[in-house]
């Protein structure tokens, strides 16, 4: 999948006004996911995405110096997406679901199953709900 196609899917499913908003949603979600999953897994996932999108997984803002694989719950995940994306928490939860739905479609093999397995059950339920969940 190409970069513009990926962003177009996010924009359409999230009903965002333009590709810039879709890019912001991708960055906010994937940087937060990059903090949560183990580094090697984030790199493997990033390698299967368009380069510009995958880089968000690798370019995480480290909260408290913990690095990747940091343990935090659904509330903290949504809060971080909201802060990065400049949206409220309800919108952040929806955007995260949309972005990760598109990531799942864009990747091959079982990589997203490994990502889901690395998440706590409360975050896993959020990110597997999809854009209509």
Q: Where are the domains of the chain?
A: 3-127
Of the candidates 82, 99, 113, 79, which has an alpha carbon nearest to the alpha carbon of residue 30? 99
Average pLDDT over residues 65-76: 76
Amino acid 133: pLDDT:
63
CATH superfamily of 3-127: Uncharacterized conserved protein DUF2267 (1.10.490.110)
Mean pLDDT (the chain) is 90
Q: How confident is the model at residue 57 (pLDDT cuts 50, 70, 90)?
A: very high
Rounded mean pLDDT of 31-43? 91
The pLDDT-based confidence of 69 (bands split at 50, 70, 90) is confident
Assess contact for 69 and 39: CB atoms under 8 A: yes
What is the spatial distance between Cα 64 and Cα 75, in angstroms, rounded to a whole number?
17
Confidence of residue 132 (pLDDT cuts 50, 70, 90): confident
Quickly state the pLDDT bin for 64 (edges 50, 70, 90).
Answer: very low
Residue 108 Rama label (left phi>0; alpha psi -120 to 50; beta) = beta
**Once rounded to an integer, what is the mean pLDDT over residues 49-64?**
78
């Amino acid at each position: 999948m190409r970069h513009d196609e990926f962003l177009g899917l996010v924009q359409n499913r999230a009903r965002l006004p333009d590709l810039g908003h879709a890019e912001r949603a991708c960055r906010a979600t994937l940087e937060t996911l990059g903090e949560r999953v183990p580094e090697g897994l984030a790199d493997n996932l990033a390698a299967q995405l368009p380069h510009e999108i995958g880089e968000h997984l690798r370019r995480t803002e480290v909260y408290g110096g913990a690095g990747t694989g940091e343990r935090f719950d659904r509330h903290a995940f949504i809060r971080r997406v909201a802060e990065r994306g400049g949206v409220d928490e309800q919108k952040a939860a929806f955007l995260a679901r949309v972005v990760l739905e598109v990531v799942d479609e864009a990747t091959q093999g079982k990589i997203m199953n490994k990502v889901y397995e690395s998440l706590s059950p409360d975050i896993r339920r959020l990110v597997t709900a999809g854009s209509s969940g």
